[in-house]
Amino acid sequence: MKKLRTNSADWSALMPVLPGEGPRTRELYAAIRRLIEGGQAPSGTKLPTTRDLAARLGVSRAAAVAAFELLVADGFAEARVGAGTFVAPQVPALAPVSREVPPMAAPSPPLPCELGVATMDEKTMRIFRRLLSRSLARPGPEHFHYGDARGTRALRDAIAAYLRTARGVRCDPEQIIVTTGTMHGMDLVVRSVIRPGDAAWIEDPCYGKARTILKAAGARLVGVPVDGEGIDPAQGTIACSKARLAYVTPSHQFPLGVAMSMRRRLALLEWARRNDGWIIEDDYDSEFRFSGPPLACLQGMDDGDRVAYLGTFSKVLFPGMRIGYAVVPRALLAAVLRLRIQSDRQPPTLAQGAIADFLDQGHFAAHLRRVRRRVQSARDRLVAGLRRGGLEVDVPEQGLHLVAGLPSSFDDRALAIAAREADVGALPLSPLHVDAPQRQGLILGFSGFDGEVLAEAAERLCRLL
């Protein structure tokens, strides 16, 4: 186990990114406590000075002092006058601090370049206001009793029509389950097929929440490297051919942004067919394609009904809707529905009604055109700002984020912390790796912010680098 050397860079290197805004006393307290409880900072180790720690981690001195006071109060450290603060001789056995920061700690409002921010469109909001108030003024009977656990027929019909034409999905409305977002759909499918100990392929690097869901279901994660053609099923087969499931983002790999090549798609489908494996296709931001031909989805190429297709309105409308959908292979439908009924019974009827009307009345295509234009222009401002500052970045043809790769001598976690202090919501790339050697980089979102705000954020970030 890596032990700490006092006043060396190890302290900050071993700290996870401290999320959130403001003083972040609790996060710093939790990070140091984990090092103590994990044995990396054994009894008697001298803690760095609060000044040193604050400077290294980019938090305020007051936050570092308050975190130390908490550590002392809880018995993890002791202050010796004139000598400094030391890890206590006997560390108390308290309930562990959570590794995940509770969602309440999420910054509000988000920092420029933060991921997961939708682009608000005034016209779309006006339409939704009208649709929702009409529904409330003349409420239909569906709001007053429990309905179909898959969601309303009207919304499932509308989604099926959209997916068939826009994404090439093979589906009928019977297979569609309206969810509270992609990750809800993923959780239902994963729990339907994974038994503890089953192997699951996951792209390496990967979407962190997908990794959490697989782990929570007891899956043994097999990181399959992503290169310029996406995930490589040949590598997955070498690592573990008998995996039960593969989670992929073929249209736009998260986080690296590559599209999976046709030969890899065919190879992945062939692997699933031969091994009775399941594929989860997360198509989270395919609506935002800026140039080049639209990429058809993997599910539409599958003759064997082995692909569960997940989509969401979080990106294309806004995450507050909490509406997504899963197109579930017929063989899994009953199991997935059973879990859905157990967990949250059915999706909310009011939001479903508004989205179904939005799609049926033809507003969606116009909304997409408006929002796509704005996101594209924001992307261009961010890219231009980064390039002006000397960073080499590719212009993404799709999606809502880009990755600024960094030389391996950089520490992207420390940089992300420093970027936050400079009001830039960059996410470090290296922690998203599973087994592959960690690449350093910063993930930057360009949706939901004005071009000017992003250009200024790019300038601050480049100054930092």
Ligand X SMILES: Cc1ncc(COP(=O)(O)O)c(C=O)c1O
Give yes or no for residue 284 binding ligand X (CB under 6 A): yes
Sheet containing 441-445, strands listed edge to edge, beginning at the edge strand earlier in sequence: 401-405, 441-445, 427-428
- Provide, rounded to whole angstroms, the least separation between the CB of residue 249 and ligand X: 5
- Choose the binding region for ligand X from 130-138, 312-320, 367-375, 384-392 (rule: CB under 6 A): 312-320
Give residues 314-333 in contact with ligand X (rule: CB under 6 A). Answer: 314, 319, 324
Q: Which among 39-47, 176-184, 295-303, 333-341 is the span making contact with ligand X, rule CB under 6 A?
A: 176-184
**CA–CA dist 22, 305 (Å, integer):** 49
Measured from the CB atom, the residue of 183 and 378 that comes closer to ligand X is 183
Does position 230 interact with ligand X (CB under 6 A)? The reply is: no
| 181 counts as binding ligand X under rule CB under 6 A | yes
Q: How many CB atoms neighbour CB 66 within 10 A? A: 18
| Residue 84 phi, psi (nearest 5) | 120, -165
What is the C-alpha to C-alpha distance for residues 76 and 85, in angstroms, rounded to an integer?
A: 10
Cβ at position 382, least distance to ligand X in Å: 17
Pattern 112-151, binding to ligand X, x per CB under 6 A? Answer: ---xx-----------------------------------
Contact window for ligand X (CB under 6 A) among 71-79, 99-107, 175-183, 194-202: 175-183
d(CA 425, CA 422): 9
Closest to 294 in 3D by CA, of 169, 395, 448, 157: 169
Give the interface size with ligand X as a residue count (CB under 6 A). Answer: 14
312 binds ligand X (CB under 6 A): yes
Check residue 349 for interaction with ligand X (CB under 6 A): no
Q: How far is it, in rounded angstroms, from Cα 224 to Cα 222?
A: 6
Is residue 399 at the binding interface for ligand X, with CB under 6 A as the rule?
A: no
Residue of the chain from 12, 249, 286, 440 that contacts ligand X (CB under 6 A): 249
254 binds ligand X (CB under 6 A): yes
Nearer to ligand X, 152 or 182 (CB): 182
- Nearest in space to 268 (alpha carbons), one of 239, 307, 296: 307
Task: Name the nearest CA neighbour of 151 among 9, 371, 347, 400.
Answer: 347
Given a contact cutoff of 8 angstroms between Cβ atoms, the answer to whether 112 and 71 are in contact is no
Residues 6+ apart with CB under 8 A from 106: 19, 20
From the list 71-79, 149-157, 180-188, 420-428, the region that binds ligand X by CB under 6 A is 180-188
Contact (CB, 8 A) for 200 and 245: yes
Binding site for ligand X (CB under 6 A): 115-116, 181-183, 207, 249, 254, 282, 284, 312, 314, 319, 324
